[in-house]
Amino acid sequence: MLNRSISRKLPVSNPLSYLFLAFIAMAGLSYINFLPGVVNALAGGIGFNEAEAGQIVALNGYGALLGSTVAIFLVRRIQWQTVMFISFTLLALTDISTLWVENYSIMLGWRFLAGILGGLCVGTGFSVLARLNNPDRAFGTLLFIQFSIGSIVMYGLPTLEEMLNAYAVFYVMAGLILISLALMPFLPALPLDSKSISQSMPLAKLFGKPLLLLLAILSYLTAASAIYAYVGSSVWAPILRLKM
């Protein structure tokens, strides 16, 4: 049994390792890829007004920043796969249980908690990606997966809302997390208490510095949110309401 478990681990240089790790690093804050859909669901069928929906999403983002910060400074002191497994499990439960949260104040705290858990996963995931043999390929794969998942979800979300309900976007978020949990047993056992595998790559050293990694995550979250804040109300909301 032990040999079978070990044999399931992918080599660090295997392309699937990059693909799986990139997907897992994305899943913790997957909502950023379809943020207008989350806002529209909160301010639409779920029943909050636009200001309340904005506050809920903002608290989710603040929690993500806090979780990412904690992960970056603790990642060398923890067993990263165990922490990510626990965080993903709790995050999936938090996303699913959002369906039964109707009070605005409770929703604020609930999504803030979800943000912290997601931030822990993303901060840890970014640190793992930075220690692969080819960080350029790792982060390129991450961007490819983000754009792909975001496009697919934005295209199919109106149909999912018709088939399910206004909480369909939270089903999607939980589903992506469950896929990540299914991929985790195949990940390589990459230690984070040592230097990058590729000592000759400047980018690996760059992302190995906690403050620079934190700035990278902050820039990513800010850029993604700013784009959707600009186009969300004028472009995405009418698409979601097209079939209503």
Give the pLDDT band (50/70/90) at residue 122.
confident
Residue 1 within any structural domain of the chain:
no
pTM of the model: 0.76
Residue 209 within any structural domain of the chain:
yes
Give the mean pLDDT of 120-134: 82
- Find the CATH number of the domain harbouring 89: 1.20.1250.20
Number of domains the chain is built from: 1
Q: Which residues contact 121 (CB under 8 A, 6 or more apart)?
A: 24, 25, 27, 28, 29, 67, 71, 84, 87, 88, 91
pLDDT over 90 at 110, yes or no: yes
What is the structure's pLDDT at 113?
93
Domain range for 124 is 22-240
Residue 8 within any structural domain of the chain:
no
Residue 66 within any structural domain of the chain:
yes
Distance between CA atoms of 18 and 143, rounded to whole angstroms? 12
Give the pLDDT band (50/70/90) at residue 71.
confident
What is the structure's pLDDT at 230?
46
Residue 153 within any structural domain of the chain:
yes
What is the structure's pLDDT at 203?
44
Residue 168 within any structural domain of the chain:
yes
pLDDT in tens, 158-211: 888 888 888 888 999 999 999 999 998 888 776 655 454 444 444 444 444 556
Residue among 188, 43, 30 at smallest CA distance from 117 = 30
Residue 9 within any structural domain of the chain:
no
Average pLDDT over the chain reads 76
Residue 6 within any structural domain of the chain:
no
What is the structure's pLDDT at 235?
44
pLDDT over 80 at 4, yes or no: no
Contacts by residues 103-107 (CB-CB < 8 Å, ≥ 24 positions apart): 104/48, 104/52, 104/56, 107/48, 107/56
